[in-house]
Amino acid sequence: MNRPQTSARERLERIRSLVVSAAPVKEISSDTAGLHLETDGMEPAEAEVMASVPHTCPTANRELLLKHADIPAQLIRMVDALKQLTERQNADLNALRLKLEEKGGRPAKDYAAECAMKCSEPAFKAFMEARHGIARPLTDERVTDAVRKALMIASRADLNKDRQAAARWRTMVTDFENWRKQR
Residue 53's Cβ-count burial label (10 Å; 0-12, 13-18, 19+) is: middle
Name 39's Cβ contacts closer than 8 Å, sequence gap at least 6: 23, 24, 25, 26, 47, 48, 50
Residue 2: per-residue pLDDT: 65
List pLDDT tens digits, range 65-116. 888 888 999 999 999 999 999 999 988 987 887 787 777 666 667 899 999 9
Q: Is the pLDDT reported for residue 166 higher than 70?
A: yes
Taking the C-alpha atoms of residue 133 and residue 25, their distance in angstroms, rounded to an integer, is 62
- pTM, two decimals, is 0.50
3-state secondary structure of 29: strand
Between these two residues, 42 and 106, which has the higher pLDDT value? Answer: 42
Going by pLDDT thresholds of 50, 70 and 90, the confidence category of residue 139 is very high
pLDDT, average across residues 49-72: 90
Compute φ and ψ for 135, nearest 5 degrees.
-85, 155
Going by pLDDT thresholds of 50, 70 and 90, the confidence category of residue 59 is very high
